[in-house]
């Protein structure tokens, strides 16, 4: 066998289809593209999922759930990956330095996958129950001071916020009580002033009515008083 005689097996290679070479070939005038239309034009294209203008399937179907934007913040670490880290105290920085987790990971969680063959101290790393038991069985420990500090700080913030809210509520209640008492006193003084004005108006009206009655009586008395008789006077003509 010579190199210049080596070739593919019979039927393994096919000649490229030649279109636009006469009606006898079957793909002559229109080169298999048909008459007119988008697919017959140069550059005719539509995006994936396009259905001619009607609402496409990916928009007709209902949407369920969501994709967490923080799913890549916590990286998974297998137990077997801890064996190739040379240090005894393993934290997130040691994992990044060894290339076990991505550089942008904010935290890591050790899961049960593989075996750990030496005692290590996990510091500030999340662990599953099985992984924690495996580390402790191998003579290692799991420390999480950062999580504890964060929890205590969070609890302290909650207590401070609750105390502040209670103080604000007490001030608001005292202010409300003082305002209500002031409004009640003001309403009472207004009611007293109104009642006094009403009493004075009533007394004035009664005095006015009494004076009117007195004037009426005086007029009536003046009309009924006997006057001088005009007929008793001597007439000047008789003298």
What is the C-alpha separation between 90 and 126, in angstroms, rounded? 12
DSSP 53: T
Whether the pLDDT of residue 223 is over 90: the answer is: no
pLDDT confidence band for 7 (50 / 70 / 90): very high
Q: Residue 236: pLDDT band by 50, 70, 90 thresholds?
A: low
Whole-number average pLDDT of the chain:
85
Q: What is the pLDDT of residues 132-169, one digit of tens each?
A: 999 999 999 998 754 445 556 677 788 888 888 898 88
**Residues 6 or more apart in contact with residue 95 via CB below 8 angstroms:** 75, 77, 85, 101, 105, 108, 125
- The pLDDT value recorded for residue 212 is 83
For a pLDDT cut of 90, what percent of the chain falls above it? Answer: 42
pLDDT for 53 equals 93
What are 52-83's pLDDT values in tens digits?
899 999 999 999 888 888 888 999 999 999 98
pLDDT surpassing 60 at residue 229:
no
- List, for residues 75-112, the tens digit of each pLDDT value: 999 999 998 888 999 999 999 999 999 999 999 999 99
How far, CA to CA in Å, does 196 sit from each of 189, 193, 201? 10, 5, 9
* pLDDT above 80: residue 15: yes
pLDDT score at 129: 93
> What's the rounded Cα separation, in Å, for the pair 119 and 83?
9
Dihedral sign for Cα 35, 41, 42, 46, please: negative
């Amino acid at each position: 066998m010579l190199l210049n005689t080596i070739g593919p097996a019979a039927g393994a290679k096919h000649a490229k289809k030649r279109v636009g070479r006469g009606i006898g070939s079957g793909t002559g005038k229109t080169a298999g593209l048909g008459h007119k239309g988008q697919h017959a034009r140069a550059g005719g294209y539509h995006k994936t999922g396009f259905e001619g203008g009607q609402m496409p399937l990916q928009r007709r179907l209902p949407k369920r759930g969501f994709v967490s934007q923080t799913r890549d913040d916590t990286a998974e670490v297998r137990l077997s990956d801890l064996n190739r880290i040379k240090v005894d105290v393993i934290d997130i920085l040691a994992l990044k330095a060894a290339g076990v987790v991505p550089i942008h990971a904010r935290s890591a969680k050790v899961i049960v996958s593989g075996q750990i063959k030496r005692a290590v101290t996990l510091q500030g790393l999340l662990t599953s129950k099985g992984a924690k038991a495996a580390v402790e069985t191998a003579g290692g420990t799991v420390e999480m001071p950062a999580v504890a500090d964060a929890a205590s700080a969070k609890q302290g913030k909650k207590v401070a916020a609750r105390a502040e809210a209670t103080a604000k509520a007490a001030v608001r209640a005292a202010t409300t009580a003082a305002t209500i008492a002031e409004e009640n006193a003001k309403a009472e003084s207004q009611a007293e002033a109104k009642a006094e004005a009403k009493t004075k108006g009533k007394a004035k009206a009664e005095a006015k009515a009494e004076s009117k009655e007195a004037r009426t009586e005086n007029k009536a008395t003046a009309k009924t008083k006997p006057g001088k008789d005009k007929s008793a006077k001597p007439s000047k003509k008789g003298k």
